[in-house]
Amino acid sequence: MEVGRSIPRVDAADKVTGRAKYTDDLCPRPVLEAKILHSTIANGWVKSMDISAAQALPGVVKVLTCFDVPDLQYPTPGHPWSVEKAHQDVSDRKLLSRRVRIYGDDIAAVVAEDEVTAQRALELIRVEYEEYPVMLEPEQAMAPGAVAIHDEHPDNILAKMDLRTPITDPRYENVEQVLEDETLCQFRGHYETQQVQHCHIENPVSFAWMEGGRIHVVTSTQIPHIVRRVIGQALGIGWGGVRVIKPYIGGGFGNKQEVLYEPLNAWLTTQVGGRCVRLDVSREETFRNTRSRHPISFDVAAAVDKQGRLMARSCTAISNQGGYASHGNAIVANAVTGFRQLYPDQVGHHSTAYTVYTNRPAPGAMRGYGIPQCNFAAECMMEDIALKFGFDPIQLRLKNIMPLGYVDPFNGITCHSTGLRECILKGAETIGWEALRAQYKNQTGPVRRGVGMACFSYKTGVYPISLETASARMVLNQDGTVGLQLGATEIGQGGDTVFCQMAAESIGIPTEDIHIISFQDTDTAPFDTGAYASRQTYVTGKAIQKVGAQFRQKLLDYAAELFPEAEGLTIARRFVTDGAGEKLLSLADLATTAFYSLEHSVHITAEDTNHCKENTFAFGCCFAQVEVDIPVGKVKVLRLINVHDSGRLINPALAAAQVHGGMSMGMGYALTEEMKLDPKTGKLLNGNLLDYKMPTAMDHPDLTALFVETEDPSGPFGNKALGEPPAIPVAPAIRNAVLNATGVAVNTLPLSAQKLVEEFTKGGLIGHV
């Protein structure tokens, strides 16, 4: 069995020895360097720009401004393109913008012979602005008379949605009536999440040149085929006129599921005669000018019966979209949907969601796509309900979690398999839940301990909200090994390794005999929309399985030509054998023969597309044990345990590594990470890795990753989503552990030290300040 083996990553040796090539490693030198001029206001217009001094600087090749760019607005999110206009992404951005919508907006670009010259030229550009008030919060942008950030949306509301599930109890007409029924336990809550960033190691760098009359772009992206499409849209040229190459990348986490600076770079090369232009953005620019996680506020209400069953809930979410639509309403729609799905209400559910333009750096896709936000609200709420009405928090959850066979009333996504109950029980047992909860009752003193948990559900890929399609190509080599080519991308998660395992499993050969082409070149790579939505192992996996079966059959058909008498042909241990298990010939001999036969020469290949029209839920939970130093507001995470049901694991060791990374991201979300903005200017204050507090190795406890393996009937190999889920439940689990330790419920993220000191002071645990 190739699926289920904990083999080392196929790219491990190259990556740890530094041999693996990333975008900047491939860039020819010398190369023209591009740098971007960013606005020094957050809201307004560029009235005029004086570029004469910059243009006169020796070494400057070209200065281009927001007055020069094509008058075309284009969409940037890495969604599959929709052929239905109503479902197309919002086109609200130009390559450079006269209308300034965030502090640091892109208003001009310099192309120069070297970086220092380009930087010096930027300093020489004089800009005259017309300024509007800065609006960083939805309340400001939604206030009467607020300036429209985009003319298409005069009220600054990009989108809103209002969804009610059918009411299943004739005693009620709507959710609101349930939420006013005095015979039920009634709960109201308000929870808020903050803006954080992905902090992938490699900033989004690209280089672009013209050759053969076409634009070629090498870029650090999760979605090469989508980048090609968006460059075409942004420049108003045929998509075939663009070639995108994606080498190894240093992480993406959703930020590179967005077409960031590739269209600008593609245009710049056309403005300098096709010479190669490198556009490297700094960490500071990455913080300010690329995407982040949406801050979302949640007003929730729940009615619970005496047995602890959720009868009805309502959830109103307001998502802060910043200056550009990016993925737009899809994120908060996913959030309120995820809030609803984890605990299907007995009677009904009412979701309301708003996506509001503001002058913040624009958020977009980030690992979990709205679900970490809604999960914080949902799992704080469950904990608070348990505390308020005296339910056991684990029993309350077990009583309400999504059952097997659940079908979403709107999108039809079905629970084909669930190990959530087992995950929760396993986590509780591993951390010693009962004993710790008993031990932590009635603590006194400045340092106290607590234990908390949270669980989640997460769908696999984007069907039926968007298209799910994947293609694969398999090519026989002369020695019987197989070349595997995909449009799906390795972004550090280990995709290439599990693709090889799945291909090997499908053909019936060892994984070591699969050679994957890691880099995508849109001229030659089969079509796949890329790495996002925890989709590839599931969606691309189906394509690999399909093509693998075809490829295997072609091998057997050719063997049958060579051995017309033989019956029951199969492939085992690099040989074609007959029904009796007799070895007929090695795959190496078969391959050599097929290539060079004087009777029937054929290059055995297989290629196909799988249009995936299925989805399924992955599940899991997090248990956190913390120690809280109350007088100084410090939370030390003593133990963190994630338990996941992602169906069958293709590679358990890689799965555990994925979980570790997600838990780390969740810890930062819980405790220290937050993009801080100056409310007056809209300027990002901590856009660097010193002032933005990602946890260091020294801040981590040992991370425990456990699994409950289920066999999902819809997954190609029984597998379900795993990429994003590990980051989801950590923040509420830690918050609930702090609540257990101190009795103080913190309802906003992060649980920063200063905020905790303030909350503990309010709660009477700190006496002086």
CB 326 within 8 A of CB 291: yes
672 binds other proteins (CB under 8 A): yes
- Report, in Å, the least distance between residue 293 CB and other proteins: 19
For other proteins, which residue of 25, 50, 114, 512 counts as binding (CB under 8 A)? 114
> Stretches 2-10, 218-226, 266-274, 626-634: which one binds other proteins (CB under 8 A)?
626-634
> Stretches 108-116, 173-181, 534-542, 724-732: which one binds other proteins (CB under 8 A)?
108-116
- Report, in Å, the least distance between residue 93 CB and other proteins: 27
Residue number, 115 or 711, with CB nearest to other proteins: 115
CA distance 637 to 704: 13
Tokens of 345: 């209400």
627 binds other proteins (CB under 8 A): no
632 binds other proteins (CB under 8 A): yes
> Stretches 152-160, 230-238, 352-360, 683-691: which one binds other proteins (CB under 8 A)?
683-691
- Which residue is it, tokens 């300093």? 123
CA distance 633 to 631: 6
Instruction: Indicate the burial class of 694 (C-beta count within 10 angstroms; 0-12, 13-18, 19 or more).
Output: middle
The amino acid sitting at 483 is G
Sheet holding 310-322, edge to edge: 157-164, 348-357, 310-322, 296-304, 185-192
Closest CA to 534 of 383, 726, 711: 726
> Stretches 434-442, 465-473, 605-613, 625-633: which one binds other proteins (CB under 8 A)?
625-633
- Report, in Å, the least distance between residue 700 CB and other proteins: 9
For other proteins, which residue of 30, 84, 697, 702 counts as binding (CB under 8 A)? 697
757 binds other proteins (CB under 8 A): yes
CB 459 within 8 A of CB 402: no
Residue number, 607 or 699, with CB nearest to other proteins: 699
488 binds other proteins (CB under 8 A): no
CA distance 343 to 334: 15
For other proteins, which residue of 676, 681, 706, 743 counts as binding (CB under 8 A)? 676
696 binds other proteins (CB under 8 A): yes
607 binds other proteins (CB under 8 A): no
16 binds other proteins (CB under 8 A): no
Total residues interacting with other proteins, rule: CB under 8 A: 32
For other proteins, which residue of 164, 190, 399, 693 counts as binding (CB under 8 A)? 693
CB 628 within 8 A of CB 741: yes
3-state SS of 152-205 is CCCCCEEEEEEEECCCCCCCCCCHHHHCCCCCCEEEEEEEECCCECCCCCCCCE
192 binds other proteins (CB under 8 A): no
120 binds other proteins (CB under 8 A): yes
Taking the CA atoms of residue 252, residue 258, residue 264 and residue 270 in that order, the dihedral angle to the nearest 10 degrees is: 90
- Report, in Å, the least distance between residue 459 CB and other proteins: 33
CA distance 535 to 395: 32
Count of beta carbons in the 10 Å neighbourhood of residue 432:
15
CA 594 to chain centre: 43
Tokens of 753: 């030290």
User: What are the distances in angstroms from CA 759 to CA 76, 222, 327, 746?
Assistant: 40, 40, 34, 7
86 binds other proteins (CB under 8 A): no
Residue number, 112 or 594, with CB nearest to other proteins: 112
699 binds other proteins (CB under 8 A): yes
CA distance 537 to 658: 13
For 484, phi and psi rounded to 5 degrees? Answer: -120, 130
The amino acid sitting at 307 is Q
690 binds other proteins (CB under 8 A): yes
Residue number, 241 or 631, with CB nearest to other proteins: 631
For other proteins, which residue of 323, 620, 633, 647 counts as binding (CB under 8 A)? 633
For other proteins, which residue of 70, 631, 652, 763 counts as binding (CB under 8 A)? 631
Q: What is the largest CA-CA distance in the chain?
A: 93
- Each residue 134-173 as x (binds other proteins by CB under 8 A) or -, in order, gives ----------------------------------------
123 binds other proteins (CB under 8 A): yes
> Stretches 42-50, 118-126, 450-458, 593-601: which one binds other proteins (CB under 8 A)?
118-126
768 binds other proteins (CB under 8 A): yes
- Report, in Å, the least distance between residue 606 CB and other proteins: 48
678 binds other proteins (CB under 8 A): yes
- Report, in Å, the least distance between residue 699 CB and other proteins: 5
- Each residue 736-755 as x (binds other proteins by CB under 8 A) or -, in order, gives ----------------xxx-
CA distance 610 to 544: 9
CA distance 703 to 612: 34
Site residues (vs other proteins, CB under 8 A): 114-116, 119-120, 123, 631-633, 672, 676, 678, 685-686, 690-691, 693-699, 752-754, 757-758, 761, 766, 768-769
